[in-house]
Structure 1
Amino acid sequence: MDAFFVVSIFTKYPPTRAMKKAIKLIECPRDAMQGIHHFIDTDLKAAYINLLLQVGFDTLDFGSFVSPKAIPQLRDTREVLSKLELGSSASKLLAIIANVRGAEEAILHPEISYLGFPFSISETFQKRNTNSSITESFDTVKQILELCDKNQKTAVVYLSMGFGNPYGDEWNIEIVEKWAQELVDQGVKILSLSDTTGVSTPEKIKTIVPPLIKRFKNTEIGVHLHSTPETRLEKIQAAFESGCTRFDSALKGFGGCPMAADDLTGNLATEDLIGFIEHQGIQLNLNMEKWAEAQQFSGRIFL
Structure 2
Amino acid sequence: MIQLVECPRDAMQGLPDFIDTAIKAAYINQLFEVGFHTLDFGSFVSPKAIPQMRDTAEVLEMLDLHKAKSKLLAIVANVRGAEDALHFQEIDFLGFPLSVSETFQQRNTNATISEALKTVESIQHLCEAKGKKQVVYLSMGFGNPYGDPYSPELIAEFVEKLAQLQIETVSISDTIGAATSELITELFKVNTQAFPQITFGAHLHSRPDAIEEKVMAALKGGCRRFDGALKGYGGCPMAKDDLVGNMATEVMVETLEKEGYDLGLNKSELTESLKLAQFVFNY
Determine if the TM-score, normalized by the shorter chain, exceeds 0.5. Answer: yes
Counterpart among 234, 251, 255 of residue 255 in structure 1 = 234
Partner of 1:242: 221
- The reply on whether 1:138 has 2:117 as its aligned counterpart is yes
The answer as to whether partners of 2:176 and 2:239 remain within 8 angstroms in 1 is no
The answer as to whether partners of 2:21 and 2:58 remain within 8 angstroms in 1 is yes
Q: Deviations over 1:246-270 (max 9, x none)?
A: 0001101110134x47445201110
SS of 1:119 mapped into structure 2: strand
The total of aligned residue pairs comes to 281
Residue identity matched to 1:141: V
Q: Which has the larger radius of gyration?
A: 1
What stretches of structure 1 of length at least 5 have no aligned partner? 1-21
Partner of 2:249: 270
Partner of 2:140: 161
Structure 1 residue 81: deviation in Å? Answer: 0.4
SS of 2:28 mapped into structure 1: helix
TM-score, structure 2 normalization: 0.97
Structure 1 residue 300: deviation in Å? Answer: 1.5
Counterpart among 60, 73, 77 of residue 81 in structure 1 = 60
Structure 1 residue 299: deviation in Å? Answer: 1.5
Residue identity matched to 1:42: T
TM-score, structure 1 normalization: 0.91
Q: After the TM superposition, list the runs of 4 or more consecutive aligned residues in structure 1 that deviate by more than 3 angstroms.
A: 260-264
Residue identity matched to 1:148: C
Counterpart among 107, 110, 116 of residue 86 in structure 2 = 107
SS of 2:222 mapped into structure 1: coil
Partner of 1:219: 198
Residue identity matched to 1:142: E
Cα 1:93–1:171 shift into 2, 3 Å: same
- Identity rate, percent: 53
Residue identity matched to 1:46: A
Q: CA RMSD in A?
A: 1.0
Higher deviation after alignment, 249-258 or 211-220: 249-258
What stretches of structure 2 of length at least 5 have no aligned partner? none
Structure 2 distance, partners of 1:262, 1:67, is 24
